């Protein structure tokens, strides 16, 4: 653990859990932004078996679309939604953050490090950024309805991308027009947060999609 004033850097989820568990347990409001469920795996304990209070009006979660491509992650997200958590999806990059009421913010770093901030002016800035991203995002039900075709086609698109065939051939294989195929590929890349087709394949493998 490294401490500088009211900013603390902790290493690993166990240390994060030890330092913040009591704050999660008492929090009336929790806001979370993440690419998927992996960054904040430790916090699921507070929103599940350990914390039995209703989530409605108390928990907001903002995710990237890739969370809906992985069946296991999607099931968890929809379960939180059924329990009352407000969940939105954004196509934009997110700063992976948890805001616990007005008491602290946790910012994800590299290599399983986390910065815990309690300084009021920094908390206000982090909260403002989260709220702006939240307003620009889409309710999960609306997003999922529009995303349904991309999700259904994702495994087949990833297969043809991995084969290295030309777009024209891939489009015919999937029974799509060329422009529609390219649009679906672009949407899938965006969902995976990938800037190239190669990177999309790599991230799909990381998620266990291929």
pLDDT in tens, 37-89: 877 765 555 544 455 566 777 899 999 988 888 888 899 999 999 999 999 99
- Average pLDDT (103-112) is 84
- Tell which residue, 51, 65, 60, 64, has the closest CA to residue 85: 60
pLDDT at 77: 93
The whole-number pLDDT of residue 37 equals 85
Instruction: Average the pLDDT over each of 107-116, 121-130, 166-175 and give the range with the smallest value.
Output: 107-116
Residue 159, number of CB atoms within 10 A of its CB: 14
pLDDT of residue 183: 92
CA triple 34-90-174, angle to 5 deg: 110
Q: How confident is the model at residue 192, as a pLDDT?
A: 84
Return the pLDDT at 201: 84
Confidence bin at 2 (pLDDT 50/70/90): low
- What share of the chain in percent tops pLDDT 70? 87
Q: Looking at residues 8-18, what average pLDDT do you find?
A: 80
Q: Is 64 helix (H, G, I), strand (E, B) or coil?
A: coil
Domains defined along the chain, listed by start: 2-136 (3.30.870.10), 142-206 (1.10.10.10)
**Mean per-residue pLDDT, 159-182:** 92
Rounded to an integer, what distance in angstroms lies between the CA atom of residue 79 and that of residue 67?
Answer: 13
Which residues contact residue 203 at a Cβ distance below 8 angstroms, ignoring those fewer than 6 apart? 66, 192, 193, 194
Per DSSP, 186 falls in state H
Q: Determine the pLDDT at residue 10.
A: 82
Comparing 15 with 208, the larger pLDDT belongs to: 15
Mean pLDDT for the stretch of residues 181-203: 87
């Amino acid at each position: 653990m490294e401490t500088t004033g009211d900013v603390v850097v902790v290493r690993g989820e166990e240390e994060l859990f030890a330092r913040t568990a009591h704050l999660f347990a008492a929090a009336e409001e929790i806001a979370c932004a993440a690419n998927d469920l992996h960054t904040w795996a430790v916090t699921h304990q507070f929103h599940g078996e350990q914390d039995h209070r209703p989530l409605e009006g108390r928990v907001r979660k903002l995710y990237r679309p890739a969370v809906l491509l992985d069946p296991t992650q999607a099931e968890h997200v929809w379960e939180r939604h059924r329990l009352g958590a407000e969940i939105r999806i954004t196509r934009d990059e997110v700063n992976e953050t948890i805001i616990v009421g007005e008491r602290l913010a946790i910012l994800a770093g590299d290599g399983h490090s986390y910065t815990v901030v309690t300084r009021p002016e920094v908390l206000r800035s982090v909260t403002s950024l989260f709220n702006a991203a939240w307003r620009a995002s889409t309710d999960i039900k609306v997003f999922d309805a529009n995303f349904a075709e991309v999700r259904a086609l994702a495994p087949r698109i990833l297969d043809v991308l991995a084969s290295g065939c030309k777009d024209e051939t891939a489009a015919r294989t999937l029974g799509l027009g060329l422009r529609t195929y390219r649009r679906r590929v672009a949407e899938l890349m965006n969902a995976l947060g990938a800037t190239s087709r190669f990177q999309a394949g790599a991230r799909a493998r990381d998620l266990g999609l291929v």
